[in-house]
Amino acid sequence: MRNETRQKFEQYTAQLAKLNAITSALHSFAVQPSVQQTLETKMQESVAFLGMINVIPVDELKGEKVGIGISSTIASRTDTSNAERQPVDPTALQAKGYECFQTNYDTSIGFAKLDAWAKFNDFQIRIRDAIIQRQGLDRIMIGWNGTSAAANTDRVANPMLQDVNIGWIEKTRLEQPTQIMSEGVASSGQILIGDAGDYISLDALVYDLVNTLIAPWHADDTELVVIVGRKLLSDKYFQIINDGDDNQCKLAGEVLMSKKQLGGLKALRVPYMPDDCLVVTKLANLSIYWQEGGRRRQVEEEPRRNRIVNWESSNDAYVVEDYDCIAIAENIIMGTAPDPAAQKSGVKEELTKVTDSIVEMAGAITQVGEYTAEMADAIAQVSKAQLESNAEVTGAITQVGKAQAESNAEVAGAIVQMGESTTFMAKAITKVGEALTAIIPNLPASIRAFFSGKDEKSKDKP
């Protein structure tokens, strides 16, 4: 490095030694807690998302969670004449604790870059910011993608730092797997969004997550947000909400807020979130613990590689404070968006179909009009026929009545004749009786007895 660069570099290492109460920063040392806190604060300021979640110092490498969740409701009533009031502890220090793993944040800066920075008065600040901002971004990457804490990490095999530490999503999978939805249909291995999918839209998915996985006492919390991957929502729905000053790698640290909501919740897109994943939670429910007094550091010059090296490590843990307040959906596949040209052609075809339908409808209306006119004529004819039929029926009834009257007269005449015949017969019978009366005395006794009903032979019998 150039002489003026070396001078500023030595001033930088001397300042590090002074802040940490040591003689030289060129040897390994433990960072003072106050300096460590300052570094953590600057890291949160330089990376927007870290300023939205909890970054908490802890004393022990392993222990109980620090954050306090609300485990249940507390309102109640008690009839004190029969029982005592029972207080409820609303805080939830869940049994699942934390464990910090050493994370190495070793960085290097080439002599050429140091020479370029040496002409600026903020030389030391530039070195500090370049280091802590990359550390902050790596923390976010581990938080979303970390699945293990390997003894030896492989940056090539795990480009998203999956083997450095266990992040929030994997921690949830290990400790509370019921809070993760990985598929819509059993054994499908995916959640399909679209007309023929498991959910019609991301809104429907988020709504279902809140109503089925988030505890009731958290479901209506206005601090709930949806953190989404880059491919789930188009960039046009987001705006930058990072209001910090210009800094290096600013684009990588931006947090984007959606102009629309998902399932009624504010949507955020943060760096390194898995593309096919979304998380519903409160930002205050996500934490990074760092062990106070556990940061180690050494600054070394490497002329063999024309660079300086910052050997640095921190004991970190990624913590979900309350699993009742988190719901994760992964393996999300969005339905294929229609091709614009095909969509335009489809619209034209639909318009043509609509026009044809209108023409067909007009023809049908004309036919209906014709059918209506024919029906009116038919009704008129039926009415006329009905009138004629009614007249004929009336005539027939009159004739029947006349015939009935004539028939009645004939019957009456026959009855009169029958009466006259009966009178004649009665007179004839009377005359026969008179004739018999005159004849009987002149008949023999046996015959007279027959007519009188007496037997002459029986007179002398007692």
Q: What is the residue-level pLDDT of the chain in tens, covering all 462 positions?
A: 899 999 999 999 999 999 999 999 999 999 998 899 988 888 888 888 999 999 999 999 999 887 655 556 678 787 788 888 878 666 555 567 899 999 999 999 999 999 999 988 888 888 888 888 889 999 999 999 999 999 999 999 999 999 999 999 999 999 999 999 999 998 888 999 988 889 999 999 999 999 999 999 899 999 999 999 877 876 556 665 544 444 434 444 567 776 678 899 999 988 899 999 999 999 999 999 999 999 999 999 999 999 999 999 999 999 999 999 999 999 999 876 445 565 566 667 777 787 787 888 777 788 877 777 777 787 878 777 777 767 776 776 777 667 666 767 776 776 777 777 667 677 767 776 676 666 666 666 666 665 565 554 444 444
Q: Is 335 in contact with 195 (CB distance < 8 Å)?
A: yes
Q: What is the pTM of this model?
A: 0.66
Among residues 196, 210, 221, 204, the alpha carbon closest in space to that of 70 is found at 221
Q: For residues 176 and 297, state if they share a domain.
A: yes
- Distance from the first to the final alpha carbon of the chain: 189
Cβ neighbors of 133 (< 8 A, separation 6 or more) are: 43, 46, 47, 247, 248, 249, 253
**391 assigned to some structural domain:** yes
Q: Is 227 in contact with 281 (CB distance < 8 Å)?
A: yes
**459 assigned to some structural domain:** no
Query: Domain ends where: 334, 362, 377?
Result: 334
Q: For residues 329 and 371, state if they share a domain.
A: no
Cβ neighbors of 399 (< 8 A, separation 6 or more) are: none
- Which run of H or E residues covers position 249? none
Q: For residues 293 and 351, state if they share a domain.
A: no
Name the pairing type of β-strands 278-282 and 29-30: unpaired
Confidence (pLDDT) at 388: 74
Q: For residues 212 and 274, state if they share a domain.
A: yes
Confidence (pLDDT) at 446: 62
Confidence (pLDDT) at 247: 42
Confidence (pLDDT) at 190: 92
Among residues 323, 377, 360, 374, the alpha carbon closest in space to that of 174 is found at 323
Query: Domain ends where: 270, 303, 334?
Result: 334
Q: For residues 157 and 207, state if they share a domain.
A: yes
Q: For residues 183 and 50, state if they share a domain.
A: yes
- Supply the DSSP symbol for 85: -
Q: For residues 367 and 403, state if they share a domain.
A: yes
Confidence (pLDDT) at 459: 45
**223 assigned to some structural domain:** yes
Query: Domain ends where: 334, 365, 397?
Result: 334
Residue 226 has φ and ψ, to the nearest 5°, of -115, 120
**86 assigned to some structural domain:** no
| Burial 206-221, CB ≥16 within 10 A → b, else e | bbbbbeebbbebbbeb
Confidence (pLDDT) at 456: 47
**362 assigned to some structural domain:** yes
Which residues span the domain enclosing 383?
340-452
**C-alpha angle 5-133-107 in degrees, rounded to nearest 5:** 55
**87 assigned to some structural domain:** no
Confidence (pLDDT) at 240: 57
Confidence (pLDDT) at 386: 73
Give CA–CA dist 242/232, Å, rounded: 21
Q: For residues 314 and 446, state if they share a domain.
A: no
**437 assigned to some structural domain:** yes
Q: For residues 21 and 152, state if they share a domain.
A: yes
**462 assigned to some structural domain:** no
From residue 207, alpha-carbon distances to 172, 228, 261, 379 in Å are: 20, 14, 11, 61
**Domain count across the chain:** 2
Q: For residues 205 and 291, state if they share a domain.
A: yes
Q: For residues 432 and 299, state if they share a domain.
A: no
Q: For residues 220 and 347, state if they share a domain.
A: no
Amino acid identity, residue 165?
N
